[in-house]
Amino acid sequence: MAAPAPAALLRGGFGPWLSRRMNVLKPLLFCACLIPFARVAYGIITDNLGAEPVDVMTRITGEWGLRFLLLTLLVTPLRRITNWNALGRLRRMLGLFAFFYVLCHFGVWLALDQFFDLDSIVSDIIKRNYILAGFTAFVILIPLAATSANWTIKKLGGRRWQRLHRGVYFAAVAAVVHFLWLVKADYTEPAIYAFLFALLLAWRIRHRRRRAS
Ligand code: HEM
């Protein structure tokens, strides 16, 4: 079947088109989400990650963890503003990718920075504020990832599940604080993330107040 022309898309509405194509778009997006991981894996296999491979792995996995966290939180406002309800079907996948990249990020630190040395791990978490903030974000995300399956929503009950999953905002705040505390000179990048997360949080609070009134 020929792809619809942009004008036809606008006439018919992008929402229904998106909904019909979701079965194709979702696997495509899944593959796209794996690109940063593939880049790191290829770099490791070909020994092509530069002079500081651990730093590169930490940077790529950390930044993508943060980006996916941001994208996950963007889904609901975008869905509400545009009425493209099919977007909601991407939220869980994006959230799980956020967790996946953070898990890789944590794994790199655990294995290649701390060499699984428990004393060093505990002292790093206690002594370095930015590690404590990152670790807090990671710990908050664990139960959210663990309860992402449909059956857990049923088991916990919709309200409890929703309350638990609001924790993603705390994780996002802790992750941004982690980034702000670890940079030494140029604060531009973490400041941009802080601003975007603040916007999303403000939208969420406004939306809740409107629904309550
Ligand atoms: C939600 C959780 C987390 C997110 C989103 C996150 C994100 C980031 C980001 C964006 C960076 C900066 C990358 C850059 O230089 O451009 C970073 C660096 C780093 N993160 Fe995380 N992080 C998280 C959790 C953790 C955890 C749990 C640990 C370890 C316990 C950790 C350890 C580090 C380290 C060691 C660095 C490099 C610091 C440096 O350059 O000196 N992060 N992280």
pLDDT of amino acid 142: 98
Give the angle 143-145-148 at the CA atoms, nearest 5°. Answer: 105
What gap in Å lies between CA 150 and CA 173, rounded to an integer? 26
Question: How many of the other CB atoms lie within 10 Å of CB of 97?
Answer: 24
CA of 178 to the centre of ligand 1 (A): 7
Lowest mean pLDDT among 7-16, 25-34, 119-128, 159-168: 7-16
Q: State the Cα–Cα distance between residues 132 and 110, nearest whole angstrom.
A: 14
pLDDT of residue 208: 87
What is the predicted pLDDT for the residue at 43?
A: 97
3-state secondary structure of 42: helix
Residue nearest to atom 35 of ligand 1 (CA): 109
The whole-model pTM stands at 0.92
Instruction: Give tens-digit pLDDT for 122-175.
Output: 999 999 999 999 999 999 999 999 999 999 999 999 999 999 999 999 999 999
Q: To which H or E segment does residue 106 belong? A: helix 91-108
Res. 3 pLDDT band, cuts 50 70 90: low
Flag whether pLDDT at 1 surpasses 50.
Answer: no
**Pair 207, 190: CB distance under 8 Å:** no
Say what the alpha-carbon torsion angle 132, 134, 138, 141 is, to the nearest 10 degrees: 110
Q: What is the tens place of the pLDDT at every residue in 51-67? A: 999 999 999 999 999 99
Bigger pLDDT: 6 vs 103: 103
Question: Domain locations in the chain?
Answer: 14-212
pLDDT of residue 17: 86
CB burial of 50-89 (b: ≥16 within 10 Å; e: otherwise) equals: eeebeebbbebbbbbbbbbbbbbbbbbeebeeeebebbeb
Best of 142, 182, 187, 189 to mutate for ligand 1, by most ligand atoms within 8 A of CB? 182
Residues with CB under 6 A from ligand 1: 58-59, 62-63, 65-66, 69, 102, 105-106, 109, 131, 134-135, 137-138, 141, 171, 175, 178-179, 182
Average pLDDT over the chain, rounded to an integer: 93
Gap between the terminal Cα atoms of the chain = 47
